[in-house]
Amino acid sequence: MRRRVHVAGRVQGVWFRESCRDRALAAGVAGWVRNLADGRVEVVLEGPPAAVDEVIAWCRRGPRRARVDGVNVADEQPVGERGFRVR
Protein backbone atom coordinates (compact mmCIF):
# COMPACT_ATOMS: atom_id res chain seq x y z
CA MET A 1 0.00 0.00 0.00
CA ARG A 2 1.18 3.54 -0.78
CA ARG A 3 -0.44 6.73 0.42
CA ARG A 4 0.39 10.42 0.04
CA VAL A 5 -0.54 12.51 3.06
CA HIS A 6 -0.75 16.30 3.36
CA VAL A 7 -0.82 17.66 6.91
CA ALA A 8 -1.93 21.24 7.63
CA GLY A 9 -1.60 23.31 10.80
CA ARG A 10 1.42 24.22 12.89
CA VAL A 11 3.51 21.39 11.50
CA GLN A 12 6.75 23.10 10.50
CA GLY A 13 9.42 23.98 13.04
CA VAL A 14 8.03 21.48 15.60
CA TRP A 15 10.12 18.38 14.70
CA PHE A 16 7.26 16.91 12.67
CA ARG A 17 9.46 15.50 9.90
CA GLU A 18 12.01 13.87 12.18
CA SER A 19 9.29 12.45 14.46
CA CYS A 20 7.42 11.14 11.43
CA ARG A 21 10.57 9.40 10.19
CA ASP A 22 11.04 7.76 13.59
CA ARG A 23 7.41 6.56 13.64
CA ALA A 24 7.58 5.25 10.09
CA LEU A 25 10.82 3.34 10.68
CA ALA A 26 9.46 1.85 13.93
CA ALA A 27 6.35 0.70 12.03
CA GLY A 28 8.36 -0.74 9.13
CA VAL A 29 7.07 1.82 6.62
CA ALA A 30 9.18 3.25 3.78
CA GLY A 31 8.86 6.64 2.08
CA TRP A 32 9.73 10.24 2.73
CA VAL A 33 8.54 13.48 4.36
CA ARG A 34 9.12 17.12 3.41
CA ASN A 35 7.97 20.65 4.20
CA LEU A 36 5.92 22.45 1.55
CA ALA A 37 6.18 26.16 0.77
CA ASP A 38 2.55 26.70 1.85
CA GLY A 39 3.28 25.57 5.43
CA ARG A 40 1.99 22.01 5.11
CA VAL A 41 3.98 18.82 5.43
CA GLU A 42 3.83 16.16 2.70
CA VAL A 43 4.40 12.51 3.62
CA VAL A 44 4.62 9.48 1.32
CA LEU A 45 4.16 6.15 3.08
CA GLU A 46 4.58 2.70 1.58
CA GLY A 47 4.28 -0.63 3.35
CA PRO A 48 1.81 -3.05 4.94
CA PRO A 49 -1.68 -1.49 5.21
CA ALA A 50 -1.90 -1.69 9.01
CA ALA A 51 1.54 -0.10 9.40
CA VAL A 52 0.76 2.71 6.94
CA ASP A 53 -2.53 3.38 8.75
CA GLU A 54 -0.65 3.48 12.08
CA VAL A 55 1.66 6.23 10.79
CA ILE A 56 -1.27 8.15 9.29
CA ALA A 57 -3.02 8.01 12.68
CA TRP A 58 0.13 9.51 14.21
CA CYS A 59 0.14 12.24 11.51
CA ARG A 60 -3.34 13.26 12.68
CA ARG A 61 -1.78 14.13 16.09
CA GLY A 62 1.84 14.92 15.27
CA PRO A 63 4.58 15.54 17.83
CA ARG A 64 3.88 17.30 21.11
CA ARG A 65 4.47 20.87 19.85
CA ALA A 66 2.43 20.47 16.65
CA ARG A 67 -1.16 21.49 16.04
CA VAL A 68 -2.73 19.47 13.24
CA ASP A 69 -5.70 21.22 11.64
CA GLY A 70 -6.29 18.86 8.73
CA VAL A 71 -5.02 15.74 7.01
CA ASN A 72 -5.65 14.77 3.38
CA VAL A 73 -4.85 11.18 2.34
CA ALA A 74 -4.66 9.89 -1.24
CA ASP A 75 -3.98 6.33 -2.42
CA GLU A 76 -1.20 5.75 -4.95
CA GLN A 77 0.34 2.78 -6.72
CA PRO A 78 3.32 1.34 -4.79
CA VAL A 79 6.72 1.99 -6.39
CA GLY A 80 8.98 -0.04 -4.10
CA GLU A 81 10.23 2.68 -1.73
CA ARG A 82 13.10 1.64 0.53
CA GLY A 83 14.06 3.32 3.79
CA PHE A 84 12.56 6.59 4.98
CA ARG A 85 14.04 9.99 4.14
CA VAL A 86 13.53 13.51 5.45
CA ARG A 87 13.71 15.83 2.45
**Any idea where the domains of the chain sit in the sequence?**
2-77
pLDDT of residue 34: 98
Instruction: List the catalytic residues.
Output: 17, 35
pTM for the predicted model, two decimal places: 0.96
Residue pair 8/39 in contact by the 8 Å Cβ criterion = yes
Domain 2-77 has CATH 3.30.450.20: no
Q: Is the dihedral of CA 71, 62, 34, 10 positive or negative?
A: positive
The rounded distance, in Å, linking the Cα atoms of 28 and 37 is: 28
pLDDT, tens digit (0-9, with 9 covering 90-100), for 40-78: 999 999 999 999 999 999 999 999 999 999 999 999 999
